[in-house]
């Protein structure tokens, strides 16, 4: 049996978390782990290996999404791991900052469910 890609989802909004759960757990294509801040991410990174990161920029506490992307890129194991930013922050500066920090994809909320699923499938296609 093929292993499902393990995705760390950084999202502090409970409604958006429910959307992700409904979108991805129904199909059982991906193994999702949810975090709401940088402290929880550090705890999860110590316990698990992730194949993709799904990051929101605006978080209620701690580091913001761009800082977390920079931190992830400093970890040898995650220098090339796909990082998809999904955010309501939509300025060109936000997008540029994310891409410079190391994000692989930048998608604006609200998003199309099928587009997100297909993007994640493409980014995790070589995971086994």
pLDDT tens-digit map of 24-62 = 876 678 899 999 999 999 999 999 999 999 999 887 778
**Which structural domain range is residue 102 located in?**
6-119
d(CA 1, CA 13): 33
Q: Is residue 48 part of a domain?
A: yes
Q: How many domains are contained in the chain? A: 1
Q: Is residue 63 part of a domain?
A: yes
How does pLDDT run across 15-26, given as a tens digit for each residue? 989 988 888 876
Report which of 76, 78, 58 is spatially closest to residue 66, judged by C-alpha positions. Answer: 58
CA distances 37 to 71, 80, 91, Å, are 13, 22, 22
Q: Is residue 22 part of a domain?
A: yes
**Any idea what the CATH number is for the domain that residue 112 is in?**
3.40.50.2300
Report which of 98, 105, 3, 1 is spatially closest to residue 48, judged by C-alpha positions. Answer: 3
Q: Is residue 101 part of a domain?
A: yes
d(CA 71, CA 43): 14
Q: Is residue 127 part of a domain?
A: no
């Amino acid at each position: 049996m093929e292993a499902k890609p393990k995705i760390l989802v950084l999202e502090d909004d409970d409604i958006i978390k429910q959307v992700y759960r409904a979108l991805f757990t129904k199909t059982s294509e991906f193994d999702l782990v949810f975090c709401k801040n940088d402290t929880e991410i550090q705890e999860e990174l110590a316990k698990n290996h992730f194949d993709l990161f799904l990051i929101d920029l605006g978080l209620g506490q701690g580091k913001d999404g761009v800082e977390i992307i920079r931190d992830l890129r400093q970890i040898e194991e995650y220098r090339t791991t796909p990082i998809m930013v999904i955010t309501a922050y939509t300025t060109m500066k936000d997008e540029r900052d994310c891409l410079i920090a190391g994000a692989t994809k930048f998608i604006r909320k609200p998003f199309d469910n099928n587009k997100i699923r297909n993007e994640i499938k493409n980014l995790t296609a070589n995971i086994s």
